Structure 1
Amino acid sequence: MTKYMNLREKAVGYTRVSTNLQVERDDSLERQTARIRQAARDNGWELLGIYDDVASAVGKDSLVHRPGLGDALALAAREDAFIIVTEPTRLFRNRHFGLKTLRASGAKIYSLKDQCFLSRKKLGEAFRAGEDQAEVTRDATSKAMAKSARLSRPSKKAGEHSRVSRKIRSEEIAEQIADILELDPHFEMLKHREFAEILNARGLRSGWGRMWNAASVRDRRARAMEILHERRAADDGDDDFAKSRKSSSRSFKQHPAPKSGEIIHASMPSADAVDRNPRGRVPPDEVDSTDQAFRDNPLFGLF
């Protein structure tokens, strides 16, 4: 570690923030810039410029994605100046690549955090510490993202409820389409595209709230036709029942009820017939016409 002794007068500032500010808790570019300018004024350095990047300093090709650092190193080499950073991991977080790059450029590094020029050994230690910290940060970030994904994933019960809701909504729309088909028989003969225009004109929308087209209307129209056939079959069944009731009513009217006060006379069976049939049942061949008329009356057996 070498203390600054006013051996150099020219300096080039460099600042960097990561692409993920919340994770790494980087100082803002403005704060880093302000500290570098203040140090230059306090020490009487000629500040040739300050370059910045918003990128990670971890990867082996990090210099490719940080043109600001490349420009700062090039300017320092041309002007025989040194590089000022707030702390060394602003430069690199990869020990091998960082030391190799600085050796090739020949630049000296002054750290405001350490208040001195950093030796090759100190730079290597700082870059290695930054690399380790970046690895810990990546692991923590990956775990946090995985946990967030698990928490945000809908449960099986919620998914089932959603499917049921969609099915109910789909059936409701099919019922509405069936209502429209009933309005005009010619609607059944239209092509899907033409029928979709009818639905759109009537303000009916799909389950997603979108307008209909030939593709989206196909399945719902098919289900609506099934519903329409079911309705017609139910109507036909009601007609058959009504016809049977009407026929039964006509049969009952063929035997009008007796008028008020009218007495219906019926002959009693003979004693011989009773002896032959102790339960009072008279064989059909021995029932006279008057008894037969009594039995034909619709009120027979009600009293």
Structure 2
Amino acid sequence: MRPAVSYIRVSTQKQGRSGLGLEAQAAAIAAFAASEGFTVIDSFVEIETGKGADALEQRPQLAAALELAQLVNGTVVVAKLDRLTRDVHFGSGLMAGKIPFRVAAMPHADNFQLHIMLAVAEKERQDISDRTKAALQAAKARGQQLGNPDIGKLRKAEAEERATHLRSIIEPLRNLSAKRISAVLNERKVAAPRGGRWQATQVIRLLNRIALTSLQHDQRRD
């Protein structure tokens, strides 16, 4: 039996806590391993958003899975290709290495074929995005109101509430860099706005929001 390392990824903290998606991915990988003659020697689970997460330093469980696969001369197995990555540049970098990848949903695809599939998927997503933008611009040109105007207000209120809640945590860290603050928040397991791990850009937005909220509060008192 050939050694395999299982890699499972869910996109939000909520999915990670509930187990939603974890069992399905694990079952798909187990079935693939049994039918293809692999023995899963270890499994790594990542709870991370897809957007902005396609960098290895932000995916420690993937890095650990790659390290173990290299050590045992094994294969990294995922349930679906998008659980590994949706980014063709990141994916091609992974697949250019010596570690083979297999996808349970595409059992006969090798690294080269997976690379091509990533490129095709990225092109399709860009085409859909371009068509959507063109349709929205055409609708706007006709004078059609787009979206729900209350959504922006709701998101602003949520951001202000989050900033108020995190103020006591952030205030003692203000003298640190945004990158260091994000590391501290991740170490303390403070949930990021959309789940996953804190990034420096999110910390900068939070600091600006706290400063703005404080200014508005002072103006109301005056």
Aligned partner of 1:128 among 95, 100, 119: 119
**Which of the pair has the greater relative contact order for Cα pairs under 8 Å at 6+ separation?**
2
Q: Counterpart of 1:10? A: 3
Q: Does the 8 A contact of 2:9 with 2:47 survive in 1? A: yes
Q: Secondary structure at the match of 1:115?
A: coil
Q: 1:132–1:113: structure 2 CA closer, same or farther, 3 Å change rule?
A: same
With over 3 angstroms needed to count, the CA separation of the structure-2 counterparts of 1:17 and 1:126, relative to structure 1, is farther
Report how many residues are paired: 140
Alignment match, 2:103: 111
Query: Over aligned residue pairs, what C-alpha RMSD do you find?
Result: 3.7
Give, as a single letter, the amino acid of the residue that structure 2 aligns with 1:85: V
Partner Cα distance (2:78, 2:8) in 1 = 6
What percentage of residue pairs aligned between the two structures are identical?
25
Structure 1 equivalent of residue 147 of structure 2:
147
Distance 1:86 1:133, change over 3 A: farther
Q: CA deviation at 1:21?
A: 8.7
Supply the distance in 2 between the matched residues of 1:92 and 1:68 (Cα, whole angstroms). Answer: 13
**Structure exhibiting the larger radius of gyration computed from Cα positions:** 1
Q: Structure 1 residues 133, 65: CA separation in 2 closer, same or farther (over 3 Å shift)?
A: farther
Task: Give the counterpart letter for 1:116 in structure 2.
Answer: H
Q: What is the TM-score normalised by the length of structure 1?
A: 0.38
Partners in 2 of 1:48 and 1:56 — Cα distance?
Answer: 26
* Structure 2 match to 1:249: none
Change (3 A) 1:56 1:131: farther
C-alpha deviation, 1:90, in angstroms: 1.6
Question: Gaps (5+ residues) in structure 2?
Answer: 137-145, 154-219
On the 8 A contact 1:58/1:94 being kept in 2, the answer is no
Q: Matches of 1:16 and 1:153 in 2, distance apart?
A: 30
In 1, Cα distance between the equivalents of 2:104 and 2:25? 10
* Matches of 2:9 and 2:79, distance apart in 1: 10
- Give structure 1 stretches of 5+ with no counterpart: 1-7, 155-214, 219-303
Structure 2-normalised TM-score? Answer: 0.51
- Quickly say closer, same or farther: Cα 1:63–1:56, change in 2 above 3 A: farther
1:54 to 1:111, Cα distance in 2 relative to 1, 3 A: same
